[in-house]
Amino acid sequence: MVSSKIWRHFDFWLIGAVALLIIFGVAMIRSAVLSSPDAGARELSRQLLFALAGIAILVIVSAIDYRLWGGVSGWLYGVLIILLVLVAVLGEAVFGANRWIPLFGGAYNLQPSEIGKFILVLGLGHYLVNNAEQMRRFRFILKTLVYIGVPVLFIAVQPDFSTCILYGVIWLAMLWAYGLRWEHLLILVGLAGLVGALGFFIAIESDEARYIAQRVVYFFLPNPESREFRDATYNITQALVSIGSGGWFGQGYGAGSQVQFRFLKVRHTDYIFATIAHELGFVGAVIAILLFVFVILRIFQAGRKARDGYGQLICFGVGTVIMFEAFSNIASNMNVLPVTGSPLPFVSYGGSSLWTFLFGIGLVESVILRHKQIEF
């Protein structure tokens, strides 16, 4: 654990920005579900409970010396694989995807792939630090690929290709941060392209995953005259209308027609950024983006000041996850990328997602507490 003296190095700037994002999220979730039959009381109360529990997780993880996680990273990896197997056995399909394990009689759904994000950061970081002398060998790189590939295969079956891509980004980013050779990088990018193409064609032939391939096709080859195209792109069309009609200052909190008349679907999860832009306008959307920029830069700054390679990789991995997820959500809401289904960190509704991100912030704070206070 940690002595009372070291808590003075706690990065309150980072925690403050994260807290603002959570408050932002709770407020927008409330607005997004106001038009629900029960005025969204269930979603709002659950998100508040998730936030309170998440704060406790953050404090506990901060108090634990981050170096201790390396010793149990193998066990955590094994738990992740077991949970992913349980998803296949016990999971319940929602909107064509089987990603959750129902707990407490269905009162809460656990999504193991969310938890796995930072389990892989901890495990892969520990493995890289302990085998730094092998980083220039391609055989070693392939071993790390197997490490990340096993959970990716389970997640691809669910199907959840956006998380598969995220796991690949975590793997590649951490290897790059620890000295991946350029020639190895080019080989890996080529392999990723082949795997992506293969996955695309498999998805086309799969009844469960065809909609994912359609998103990609319609993104690059839009066909507005096709009814199938209009049906498949309804959500993103409504998101663009929501963002565009927000103007500079929005239509007002709780007063956005796209949100309150429920033209915008999944507005408290996948499309919560469109909800923000619609009701709070360009100014509200920019404030949210700037908060993310501040959080990400703060995390990377903590990594640069970490006392060892493991701390650096933890911060770099956590920052990469938050940056990728935030960018994916915002970009897909704006039709800059195909829709990925990535949550907006700290803002989108969901317990597994919020707890996972706060766990990651706790890891970063643990690194900070065991170094010196970061200068603002």
Residue 95 vs residues 41, 159, 188: alpha-carbon distances, Å = 23, 11, 33
Structural domain boundaries, residue 253: 4-369
C-alpha dihedral, 255 to 52 to 169 to 118, nearest 10°? -170
365 domain-assigned:
yes
143 domain-assigned:
yes
Q: What is the pLDDT of residue 95?
A: 58
For the chain (376 residues), the mean pLDDT of every run of 10, in chain order, is 62 94 93 72 85 94 94 94 87 68 72 91 94 88 92 86 89 89 86 78 67 69 70 83 92 88 85 94 96 97 91 95 95 87 90 93 94 53
375 domain-assigned:
no
Number of domains in the chain: 1
150 domain-assigned:
yes
Q: What is the pLDDT of residue 370?
A: 85
Q: Which residues touch 204 (CB under 8 Å, ≥6 apart)?
A: 210, 213
Q: What is the pTM of this model?
A: 0.89
Q: What is the pLDDT of residue 37?
A: 63
374 domain-assigned:
no
20 domain-assigned:
yes
29 domain-assigned:
yes
376 domain-assigned:
no
